[in-house]
Amino acid sequence: MSMVSTRGVLLRAHPYSESSRVLRFLTEDHGVVGVMARGIRKSPQGRGLDLFGEVALVLYMKPGRELQTLAEVSPLRPRRGLGSHPLRLACAGVLAELVLRHHGEAPSHELFQVLGEGLDRLESVPEDEVVGTLLAQGWGLVSTLGFHPQVEACVVCGRSLSTDEVGRFDFDAGGIRCSGCAEGLAGPRIGPGARGQLRGLLRGEIPPDLMRSRAHLQLLSDFGMHHVSGSRPLEAFRIVAAFLPEPTTVSDA
Ligand SMILES: [Zn+2]
């Protein structure tokens, strides 16, 4: 058993007994770590523990153990602004779920940084940019996890899609099929407008005319389910979708 210090973002917290909690952090140096925090619910340290906040952690770590032991925790960036609107909190929950459902255990400083940036942006952007920010940061996160979708050229034949071409999204192949290769495929239709917006989101930009955000959310959710969570549905997306207008497809966006 060794004592380690690292930064962490609290992704999930469950009560364990009257006084304890089981916490899941994305840590900067050790990936996702489950922690048993005994006595935390009644201790002053527990008051500095905000969901999605960044903290300095001291842990007793033993390799292979399911839950590590919390020695100390102190707040660095509480991100309490996320609680100002339930939509901000729901969007933060999507980023957290993508990280939790990913099975890669390898620690990644880049992932820690991308998640932190996403949560900071969700806390601070104007309310009408929250969903666009989630889409941009969500695609950034799945790309950082190793699943960057291919949207420039057809995933089957490699041909660049023409400016007015309508293709279809092939989730298994991880990108868009051209009109010729899309025949018989059931994936969502992606027109030139939606493709342009997707390219912008993948660059981290929120398209000024982002239309049909619920369809974009569905696309990110389905992509995440196929590639990140091992085909288990991602619950947090449904919570965000409940805030958005009725579903359509992104095809003619
Ligand atoms: Zn093709």
pLDDT of 163 reads 92
Mean pLDDT split into 10-residue runs, the chain, 253 residues: 96 93 96 93 85 97 93 95 95 96 82 97 95 96 94 96 94 95 93 93 88 89 92 91 74 49
Are residue 62 and residue 103 in the same domain, yes or no? no
Q: Are residues 52 and 101 in the same domain?
A: no
Ligand 1 center from residue 63 Cα (angstroms): 47
Domain-ending residue, one of 39, 63, 78: 78
Residue 182 and residue 217 in one domain: yes
**84, two tokens:** 């100002």
The whole-number pLDDT of residue 224 equals 94
What pLDDT is stored for residue 253 in this prediction?
44
Q: What is the model's pLDDT at position 194?
A: 92
What integer pLDDT is reported at residue 247 of this predicted model? Answer: 59
In the reported structure, the alpha carbon of residue 223 is separated from the centroid of ligand 1 by a whole-number distance in angstroms of 19
Ligand 1 centre from 217 Cα, in Å? 25
Does residue 201 lie within any of the structural domains? yes
Residue span of the structural domain in which 39 resides: 2-78
The answer on 188 and 94 residing in a single domain is: yes
The pLDDT value recorded for residue 95 is 97
CATH code assigned at 50: 2.40.50.140
Number of domains in the chain: 2
Block residue for tokens 């997306």: 237
Place of tokens 């929120």: 206
CA of 196 to the centre of ligand 1 (A): 18
At 248 the pLDDT is 56
Between the CA of 153 and the centroid of ligand 1 the distance, in Å, is 8
Task: Please state whether beta strands 54-61 and 21-27 pair in parallel, antiparallel, or not at all (unpaired).
Answer: unpaired
Q: What is the DSSP letter of 150?
A: B
Question: Which residues lie near ion ligand 1 (Cβ < 5 Å)?
Answer: 154, 156-157, 178, 181
pLDDT of residue 201: 95
Q: From ligand 1's centre to the CA of 218, what distance in Å?
A: 23
Residue 152 CA, ligand 1 centroid: distance in Å: 11
What lies within 8 Å, CB to CB, of 189 at 6+ separation is 166, 167, 168, 249, 250, 251
Q: Compute the distance from residue 102 Cα to the ligand 1 centre, in Å.
A: 30
Tell me how far the alpha carbon of residue 202 lies from the centroid of ligand 1, in angstroms: 21
CA angle 181, 183, 189 (to 5 degrees): 90
Residue 246 lies in a domain: no
214: CA distance to ligand 1 center in Å?
27
- Does one domain contain both 133 and 74? no
For 24, 25, 28, 78, the CA distances from 101, given in Å and listed in that order, are: 12, 13, 17, 23
Å from CA of 186 to ligand 1 middle: 15
